[in-house]
Amino acid sequence: MKILVIGSGGREHALVWKLANDSTQPEMYCAPGNAGTAELGLNVNLAATDLEGICHWCRSKRPDLVVIGPEAPLCAGLTDRLELDGIRVFGPNQAAAELEGSKEFAKEVMASAGVPTSAYRSFTDADKACAYVRKHGAPIVVKADGLAAGKGVTVAETIDQAEDAIRDALEGNAFGSAGCRVVVEDFLVGEEASILALIDGENIALLASSQDHKRIFEKDEGPNTGGMGAYSPASIVNDIVREKVIHEVYEPILAELKRRGIIYKGVLYAGLMIHDNQPSVVEFNCRFGDPETQAVIARWNGDMLPALDAVIDGTLSNNLINWKPQPSACVVMVAGGYPGAYSKGLPIGNIALANEVQDTVVFHAGTALEEKEIVTAGGRVLGITSIGDDLEDALSKAYIAVETISYQGAFYRNDIGHRELRRIIDGK
C-alpha cells in the first residue's frame, strides 16, 4: 500500500505520521514534505502546486491513495486530474473546493441554503464598495474573494480602514487576481472555533472541535499568522452548538451544493463565530486546518485510514471515528520576525529530545534537511503537540518540549489555550 500526501506543513506531517502508523503499515510519500515527513517515508521533490509533475509521478508510481493537504492544488483541480488517471484521491474536486476558493461563492451558497453567516455584499468597483461601507458604518469586514494565504481579510474598526482595504485590493492589486473582487460583510461578535467534518458525498461525520490562535502575540495581539497554536476539544462547541452545526450548517450547505450538481467529498472545515450557543460561519476551508489538524489528529484513537477510505467509497459512518478522551494542545514555534521577514537555514537542536517528552510529538512545518542537519525553512517551524489528563497537563508537556528545542530567534506564544483555561478556572 502506497500513500502520497501533498504539502509540506505541520498538517501534512501530522497526516503522514498518522497514516504511517496505520496498522496496515503503508509506504508513505510526501510531496514536497519537510524534514519530519522525511523520517516517516520518502519526500518527493515536487511542489504542491506542480499539478503536472504530481500527475506524472502518480501515473508512473501508481499510489493507492493521494491525500491533498493544502487548498491551492485542490482549488486548481488536482483531484479532478488525478481521478481522470484512475488514482484514488482524498480531497474535494475543483467545483467543491470553490467553497474556499471564492468567498463570494461561499457566501452566495450559504445565503441560498439559509446557513447562518453575516450579511454581505460583493464588489468589483472600489467606489461602489466604499459608498456601501460609508452608508453601512464600522466595524465591518473586507475580504479578498480568492485565495490570499490568510492575508486577504481586514477586520476594519473604522470606515477609513475599510476603504483602504477595498482600494488596496481592487485598485492596488494587493492580492493579484484573488483581490479583483471583494466581499464586504457585517462584523460578527462572539468566540471563534473550528470544526472539521468528513463528508463522503452524503454522510457527515464531525471530527473533534478545536480552537486556533491566529495572532502572533499573547492576548491575541499583533498581526495575523498562519496559526500559533491550537487545542482540542474547544468546550465552546458544546452539544447544542454541534447539533446546530450539523443541521444548520453542513446539511443545508451540502444539499444546496448537490442542487447545483456539486458533490462534496473530503474534509470540510467550518470556521465558526459562536455567540450564545449560536454558530455563524466565518468561512469554509476545503481541507484540514493547520494547526487544528495537529491537535485533532493527536486525539484520534486507532486507524485513520479506514475513515479516509470510507469518504472516497461513500461508506462513511461515525463508527469509524473514535477519540481519546484526553485533550490535546499544539504550540507552534515560529522563526524570529515572522509573520514579517525572517531568516531560513538556521540549525534546530534537540528535536529528538523533545520527542521523548511523554505523550508528545514534534510536528515539523517549515523545516528542511541540509547535509543531514535539520534547519529552519519557513515562518512556522514546528508544532509541538501533546495530550494530557486535562488541558493544563497537555499544555505543560508541550511547553516542556518547546523549551527543550533551540534555534536562533525561536518564538512562540506562552498562552495557547487561554480561553479554555479561563473557562476551566471560572467553572471551578
What is the contact surface with ligand ADP in residues (CB under 6 A)? Answer: 118, 141, 143, 150, 152-153, 155, 185, 187-188, 192, 214, 271, 282-283
Cis peptide upstream of residue 92 (ω within 30 degrees of 0): no
3-state secondary structure 42-56: EECCCCCCCHHHHHH
Q: Rule CB under 5 A: which of 283-322 touch Mg ion?
A: 283
For the CB of residue 396, give the shortest distance to Mg ion in the complex, in Å: 28
What does the alpha-carbon distance between residue 267 and residue 204 come to, in Å, rounded to a whole number? 10
Shorter beta-carbon distance to ligand ADP: residue 269 or 300: 269
For the CB of residue 247, give the shortest distance to Mg ion in the complex, in Å: 23
Shorter beta-carbon distance to ligand ADP: residue 281 or 316: 281
Shorter beta-carbon distance to ligand ADP: residue 44 or 99: 99
DSSP labels, 55-121: HHHHHHH--SEEEE-SHHHHHTTHHHHHHHTT--EES--HHHHHHHH-HHHHHHHHHHHT--B--EE
Shorter beta-carbon distance to Mg ion: residue 168 or 290: 290
Residue whose cell numbers read 484513537? 301
**Binding piece for Mg ion, criterion CB under 5 A, among 11-19, 63-71, 72-80, 267-275:** 267-275
Shorter beta-carbon distance to Mg ion: residue 148 or 424: 148
For the CB of residue 387, give the shortest distance to ligand ADP in the complex, in Å: 25
Q: Rule CB under 5 A: which of 125-144 touch Mg ion?
A: none
Residue 2 grid coordinates: 502506497
- The one-letter amino acid code at 82 reads L
Shorter beta-carbon distance to Mg ion: residue 139 or 271: 271
For the CB of residue 280, give the shortest distance to ligand ADP in the complex, in Å: 8
For the CB of residue 283, give the shortest distance to Mg ion in the complex, in Å: 5
Residue pair 418/211 in contact (Cβ under 8 Å)? The answer is no
Residue 57 grid coordinates: 509521478
DSSP labels, 136-158: H-SSEEEEESS--TT-SEEEESS
**Binding piece for Mg ion, criterion CB under 5 A, among 190-198, 219-227, 263-271, 272-280:** 263-271
Partner interacting with residue 344 (select from Mg ion, ligand ADP, none; CB below 5-8 Å by kind): none
Identify which of 68, 79, 101 has the alpha carbon closest to the alpha carbon of residue 178.
Answer: 101
Partner interacting with residue 188 (select from ligand ADP, Mg ion, none; CB below 5-8 Å by kind): ligand ADP
Beta bridge partners of 140: 156, 186
Partner interacting with residue 291 (select from Mg ion, ligand ADP, none; CB below 5-8 Å by kind): none
Interacting residues toward Mg ion by CB under 5 A:
271, 283
